[in-house]
Amino acid sequence: TGDLMKGKKGLIMGVANSSSIAWGIASQLAAQGAELAFTYLGESLERRVRPLAESVGAKLLIPADVTDDASMDAAFAELEKTFGTIDFVVHSVAFANKDELKGSFVDNTTRDSFLLAMNISAFSFVDVSKRAAKLMPNGGSLITLTYLGSERVIPNYNTMGVAKAALEAATRYIARDLGPKNIRVNAISAGAMRTLSLAGISGGRGLHSKSARFSLIKEETSMEGVAGAALWLCSDLGRSTTGEVVHVDAGFHAVGLPEDIEG
Ligand code: NAD
């Protein structure tokens, strides 16, 4: 605990349960004195998210579906009513249909599923940034979560990899537009972690242990590491960093040829 986030207020989007990356980040920010609001997707998740939000003294807990303008309008209206202005947003939201997260990318990708993944996983950050900037007259920090499958081929990541590439490019363009307002915009490229989303990728369950084996630091990406990067970027420590994709993956992204493969 500490006071790196003292006096700062912000929104956490994407907690589904206690394994969610958004939750790991939220609890770290709260421990450093941040005041938090949470959005969750749909009533069925409220049961899981409410006790978590309450445990860190959240000021607001509201449903929001990033594909639905009316729900986003309502959520940001509530946010403005409660907080007036905000200092940061953590966007930790992504989705692709399960049947596309396996096998052949070129054969299995349909127009509708491709557009859905792009809408929820990439466009939503543009939309959230536009809404959040209106509540940030004193500047602020926006962060999103991405994965190496945007830069390199990760088997079965398919459509999501393409959506993450769009998300990372969007991060740079949003950073350009909001820079003059002193709003910083960055992405954290986290290594594979054991969450609900990972379980949706074919073979995803083995991805974290395989990645640990081939990483520079021989361990799985820790929630503490990811949350620590979020704390840096959301606090004033991150003052000069924007338009950046920060890898927090035990060095997996830097490996060209894994050393302990057979043959
Ligand atoms: P998670 O399933 O806990 O979180 C994903 C969240 O997205 C959920 O809370 C879900 O409700 C939300 N969501 C989906 N569709 C939505 C919609 N239409 N409107 C609003 N919210 C919606 O899994 P996670 O692993 O914590 O994922 C969080 C972020 O981290 C995602 O962007 C994911 O791609 C990214 N990420 C995950 C890993 C990993 O290995 N788990 C690695 C790198 C990046």
The CB of 154 under 6 Å from ligand 1? The reply is no
Average pLDDT, the chain: 96
Measured in Å, residue 77 CA sits from the centre of ligand 1 at 23
Q: Do 175 and 220 touch, CB atoms closer than 8 A? A: no
pLDDT higher than threshold 90 for residue 94: yes
> What distance in Å separates the CA atoms of residue 244 and residue 174, rounded to the nearest whole number?
11
Per-residue pLDDT at 259: 85
Q: What percent of the chain has pLDDT over 70?
A: 99
The CB of 185 under 6 Å from ligand 1? The reply is no
203 pLDDT tier (thresholds 50, 70, 90): confident
Pick the residue whose CA is nearest to atom 34 on ligand 1.
Answer: 94
Provide the annotated active-site residues: 147, 157
pLDDT, average across residues 86-105 = 96
The CB of 145 under 6 Å from ligand 1? The reply is yes
pTM of the predicted protein model: 0.98
* Ligand 1 atom with minimal separation from the 21 CA: 26
pLDDT higher than threshold 90 for residue 261: no
pLDDT, average across residues 47-66 = 97
Residue indicated by tokens 């249909």 = 97
Measured in Å, residue 214 CA sits from the centre of ligand 1 at 24
Per-residue pLDDT tens digits for 113-172: 999 999 999 999 999 999 999 999 999 999 999 999 999 999 999 999 999 999 999 999
Of 220, 87, 221, 88, nearest in space to 144 by CA: 88
263 pLDDT tier (thresholds 50, 70, 90): low
The CB of 178 under 6 Å from ligand 1? The reply is no
